[in-house]
Chain A
């Protein structure tokens, strides 16, 4: 943007920097980049007050492609940089761009603490269940059995669940989306941006080179309607053709199960109403087994809590001491 330009409605393209995007053709990151630009345009975000902070990895290149302020930092540490930024200038709209390795492996510690502190920012976690930029090794979200250059006979480890970890870290906003499902992703990102506190959005992102189609079992058009549930606060948890299925608590209260309304209309009384503030249900939604259950998308959990940055700024406002006086406090003597 030229500086003499009159303020006018910004379009998604106005949020694009002059840098050529260098992701692999067909990468899910392109779709997410478009969703982010569209979200900013929808909310008419001011480019001068927007900062994209990232770590290391394919996803973390995103700041270079935004016509806002951008800070490509070091592996795993973006939340720590973002914290320094927000406690200095809470007016800035800070977006943390990260991947599964960046935020859940090398940066796991910072991921926990930024959520616990409730820094007012957005975290977009591009989860492709693989290390892309380092050429395909298994990541902390890779499923058991994933074959990669470092797990030639299949990974023997269990994956971590980003949303569950976020919930137990004290997150105040947990949501999920799918890279190419822009129609759902944009409103989710928009809500994340508006939320006052840390908003975690886990985005299932397809790595076309090293982990292609890993999410196909629920993202493929042919199965999406049966394998995805789009959550809306206050609405019954329904999915499937003609909303013929619903989610209910199982008989021993340990997990969610699917009830088929087409077989028995009376099951509707068992179908849960999505209460965005219910953390227990949020856990159960995050834990659903993809092989037997639909994948929960949209806003899983949201509550209000004071933010770290506002606490810091409020605390700083109470700092009224004058250095000259402090230096003379305590034992002094005059000669």
Chain B
């Protein structure tokens, strides 16, 4: 490592990067500690990606494997789009954290543990038969074993915190040690602590003392320099003001920006559900002009209220995860039928039913495209990274109001929580797309359409002389009055279909990374962008003619994908489900596409993808 490229297998070279994973009990402050290291890496201008991994239980019993929460950060030069296949460094605050995460550490990696937690009781609680520090199970790994609990309490004893509160500073001790490993001072973190608790606060003083103690400990004890200590190189990204952003924040910012550019007040109507709730929390917290949230009594009411918002001339948004989206299906169908703008965000979790609420999967694609009764087409978009969520949210709003249609955004548990550096945009440079409501006119017909988009007019209550009735019963294709006429039903079904197909005009921006013709074209969508693009990047640097498209519009599908795909020997669709996009694409666009799938609730590993792409290439020989 040390700034030189590391070999990840015999003949493939990658840029320098390193991955650190912090693991402990839910209450050990691992997310926060990871966040601090992320910031330290970010200010050097490194590329980075993070991945918090936490259980659905809020505070599971301390010391148990199911209570382990972790935060992984990867930073480095070159393309850093995924949060890392394996950890180079694991900080394990107790035996359970070690047990859950040990398989994530690369051979030769470094493990840092709090030795005091490896008591007989702690070891047993984690489900180990005997002490993993003594039974050779860490062979081939480097170990820093320190009595972090004791050393922390020693360092802060002058501040008179009790044992319980004192031990809360253990994470800062560990962070101090990590900062030293990366040749960083504690300066920035001290500044941050002072800002957080106040300069004279005893908590600041104790945390600073613990942080410095960890840093000094590393310096004075025998941690061999060749273990891992390295300087984070400075790289030069785009100048400007940066911050870290998660998918949830990015969606919240994007929605607010889109509403603002459309000159609409927006209300996010939702019901609490993991992992979608952060979007509602952020918007509640921001208290932005013209942006409101409404916590409904259930998922169905949330969707219906959002439609009500749009009906009255606001922008209705509802967000949820799988179970909630299932409940909203009937209301979404109504929005399709009455042709009103609506944004639906699905932060996909893994599995059917309650499934794995905090894990990511992409298995709601078919539900998004087809999951309503009747022919009920809508637009389905998928952001590919936390920062891309910002753009997709705006695009969704633009399409929803221009085409008078619901738009579903498929995010997932990974995107929601993962973060990456983000160049804060200049909002004044983003183009406005102000909505124009239907104004008073003679002979108004509610379902008369724009000849170009096929969208009907958005006429809101309060508009004089335009009183009209809409509803879920089939309607006359012009007047909107109830109609049971067979020809009319066929006609308006076709119109609703064609209107959604017209959205293709908005989405002529398929980006191909790599050659325009060659051996393999990888098609992915959503949060798999990170691992796929890293695998593509590595393989193409090593000579493979491999290209990558990450689709951000899943419905309607763009036809020119067919032409693009025809230029490649193999088309491979990569997704975290049992092959949903590949089935959509096989119908018309790429009948011979191959499929790589994974349903573990975890993101793809870059190495696995490299191996699979390489095997597919061999196939063709």
Could you tell me which A residues sit within 8 Å of B by CB distance? 1-3, 17, 19, 47-51, 53, 63-64, 66-74, 77, 79-89, 91-92, 109-110, 112-113, 312, 315-316, 318-324, 326-328, 330-335
B330 surroundings in chain A (CB, below 8 A): 74
A88 touching B288 in the complex, CB below 8 Å, given contacts A109-B297, A113-B301, A312-B294: no
B314 in the interface, Cβ–Cβ < 8 Å? yes
**Contact flag A85-B461 (CB < 8 Å), given A72-B473, A332-B242:** yes
Taking a contact as CB atoms under 8 Å apart, the answer to whether B267 and A74 are in contact is no
Known: A91-B462, A334-B242. A17 touches B469 (CB 8 A): yes
Binary per-residue interface labels of chain B (578-597) against chain A in the complex, 1 for a CB within 8 Å, 0 otherwise: 00000000000000000000
Ranked nearest first, the 5 interchain pairs of A and B with the lowest CB-CB distance are: A84-B308, A72-B471, A70-B469, A80-B304, A3-B465
B287-300 near A? 1/0 per residue, CB < 8 Å: 11111101011101
Nearest Cβ in chain A — how far from B241, in angstroms? 5
C-alpha spacing A63/B481, complex, angstroms: 11
Q: Is the CB of B300 within 8 A of A331?
A: no
5 pairs, A vs B, C-beta closer than 8 Å: A48-B462, A77-B301, A84-B312, A331-B244, A332-B243
CB distance from A119 to the nearest CB of B (A): 10
Distance in angstroms between the alpha carbons of A324 and B425 in the assembled complex? 8
Complex Cα spacing A85 to B340, Å: 13
Contact B301 A69 (CB under 8 A): no
Residue of B nearest to A2 (CB): B465
Chain B residues whose C-beta falls within 8 Å of the C-beta of A19 in the assembled complex: 469, 481-482
User: Could you tell me if B424 and A322 are in contact, using CB atoms closer than 8 angstroms?
Assistant: no
Contact call A315/B301, Cβ cutoff below 8 A: no
B424 touches A328 (CB 8 A): yes
Interface segment, one of B107-115, B252-260, B348-356, B540-548 = B252-260
Cβ distance A78 to chain B, nearest Cβ, rounded Å: 8
Stretch from B39-47, B138-146, B161-169, B487-495 forming part of the interface with A? B39-47
- A-B pair count, CB < 8 Å, reads 205
A141 CB to nearest B CB, Å: 22
Q: Are B469 and A89 in contact (CB under 8 A)?
A: no
A330's contact among B243, B290, B298, B311, by CB below 8 Å, is which? B243
Chain A residues near B7: list those with CB within 8 A: none
CB of B294 within 8 A of CB of A83, answer yes
Is B331 in contact with chain A by the CB < 8 A criterion?
yes
Identify which of A64, A82, A326 contacts B308 (C-beta below 8 A). Answer: A82
Q: Which residue of B lies closest to A113 (CB)?
A: B297
Q: Is the CB of B307 within 8 A of A48?
A: no
Nearest CB of chain A from residue B328's CB, rounded to whole Å: 11
Interface residues of B in 546-572 (CB under 8 A from A): none
Closest A residue by C-beta to B340? A71
Residue of B nearest to A53 (CB): B308
B186 on the A face (CB < 8 A): no
B370 within 8 A of A: no
Tell me whether A80 and B300 are in contact in the complex, defined as CB-CB below 8 angstroms, given that A89-B462, A319-B288, A335-B45 are known contacts: yes
Contact partners of B267 in chain A: CB under 8 A: 84, 87-88
Query: Does B334 belong to the interface (CB within 8 Å)?
Result: yes
CB of B309 within 8 A of CB of A88, answer yes
Interface residues of B in 264-290 (CB under 8 A from A): 265, 267, 269, 286-290
CB distance from B340 to the nearest CB of A (A): 10
Among residues of B, the one whose C-beta sits closest to the C-beta of A67 is B467
Known: A84-B267, A89-B462. A63 touches B301 (CB 8 A): no
- Which residues of A have CB within 8 Å of B442? 2-3
- Name the one of B239, B291, B307 contacting A81, with C-beta atoms under 8 angstroms: B307
B427 pairs with A324, CB closer than 8 A: yes
Write the B115-158 contact mask toward A (1 if CB under 8 angstroms, else 0). 00000000000000000000000000000000000000000000
Which B residues are CB-close (under 8 A) to A79?
Answer: 301
Chain A CB within 8 A of B612 CB: no
Does residue B464 face the partner (Cβ distance < 8 Å to A)? yes
B289-A321 in contact (CB<8A): yes
Complex: how many Å from CA A315 to CA B467?
30
Interface residues on B, range: 35 or more
Does B292 contact A316, Cβ atoms closer than 8 Å?
yes
Whether A77 touches B461, Cβ cut-off 8 Å, given contacts A68-B467, A331-B244, A335-B242, is: no
B471 adjacent to A71 (CB under 8 Å): yes
Which residue of chain B lies nearest to A75 when distances are taken between CB atoms in the complex?
B330
In angstroms, Cα B289 to Cα A89, docked, is 16
Asked if B464 contacts A335 (CB within 8 A), the reply is: no
B461, A49: Cβ atoms closer than 8 Å:
yes
- Provide the bound-state CA to CA distance between A91 and B462, in Å: 9
Most buried by A among B313, B334, B471: B471
Cα A326 to Cα B292 with chains together (Å): 15
Q: Smallest CB-CB separation from A5: which chain B residue?
A: B465
**Chain A residues within 8 Å of B302, by CB:** 80
A69 touches B461 (CB 8 A): yes
Is A88 within 8 A of B242, CB to CB?
no
Contacts of B471 in A (CB 8 A): 63-64, 70-73
- Closest approach, in angstroms, between the C-beta of B493 and any C-beta of chain A? 19
B309 and A69 form a contact (CB under 8 A)? no
Residues in B neighbouring A70, C-beta threshold 8 A = 467-471
A99 CB to nearest chain B CB (Å): 15
Tell me, yes or no, whether B218 is within 8 Å of chain A by CB: no
Please measure, in the bound complex, the distance between the C-alpha atom of A320 and the C-alpha atom of B466, giving whole angstroms: 33
- Give CA–CA (A17, B243) in the complex, Å: 56
Interface residues in B185-244 (C-beta closer than 8 Å to A) = 192, 236-244
Residues 457-483 of B, flagged 1 when their CB comes within 8 A of A and 0 if not, give 000111111111111110000000110
Known contacts: A89-B462, A334-B240. The answer to whether A3 contacts B440 by CB under 8 A is: yes
A3 adjacent to B286 (CB under 8 Å): no
12 extra interface residue pairs, beta carbon distance < 8 Å, beyond A316-B265, A331-B244: A19-B482, A69-B461, A69-B468, A74-B334, A83-B308, A84-B314, A316-B292, A319-B290, A320-B287, A321-B289, A323-B260, A333-B243
Which residues of the other chain, A, contact B239 by a CB distance below 8 angstroms? 334-335
Cβ contact of A49, chosen from B240, B269, B425, B462, cutoff 8 A = B462
Instruction: Point out the residues of chain A lying under 8 angstroms from B23, CB to CB.
Output: none
Shortest Cβ distance from A112 into B: residue: B297
Given contacts A77-B331, A81-B307, A332-B243, contact A109 B253 (CB under 8 A): no
CA distance A333 to B291 in the complex (A): 27
A1 to B444: give the CA distance in the assembly, Å.
Answer: 12
Q: Which residues on the A side are within 8 Å of B441 (C-beta)?
A: 3
Centre residue among A71, A81, A88 by max chain B CB count within 10 A: A88
Least Cβ distance of A322 to chain B in Å? 7
Name the CB-closest residue of B to A47. B467
Q: In the complex the two chains form, is B286's CB within 8 Å of A80's CB?
A: no
B304-335 with Cβ < 8 A to chain A: 304-314, 316, 330-331, 334
Minimum Cβ distance to chain B for residue A262 (Å): 50
Chain B residues with Cβ below 8 Å from A68 are 467
Specify which chain B residues have a CB less than 8 angstroms from the CB of A72 in the assembled complex: 469-473
- A81 and B290 CA atoms in complex are apart in Å by 20
Identify the interface centre among B39, B265, B288: most chain A CB within 10 Å of its CB.
Answer: B288
Contact A331 B192 (CB under 8 A): yes
- Nearest Cβ in chain B — how far from A323, in angstroms? 5
Most buried by A among B241, B256, B265, B462: B462
Assembly CA distance A142 to B306 (angstroms): 33
Given A17-B469, A73-B472 in contact, is the A81-B304 Cβ separation under 8 Å? yes
Asked if B481 contacts A334 (CB within 8 A), the reply is no
Contacts of B287 in A (CB 8 A): 318-321
Contacts of B427 in A (CB 8 A): 323-324, 327
In the complex, what distance in Å separates the CA atom of A67 from the CA atom of B236?
65
| B461 and A109 contacting across the interface, CB-CB below 8 Å | no
CB nearest to B471 among chain A residues: A72
Residues of B with C-beta under 8 A to A66: 469
**Which chain A residue shows the least CB distance to B292?**
A316
Closest A residue, CB atoms, query B473 = A72
A contact residues around B472 at 8 Å (CB): 72-74
Which B residues are CB-close (under 8 A) to A331?
Answer: 39, 192, 243-244
A88 to B291, CA, bound (A): 11
Q: Give the chain B neighbours of A334 by CB distance below 8 A.
A: 239-242
Complex CA gap A80/B482 in Å reads 23
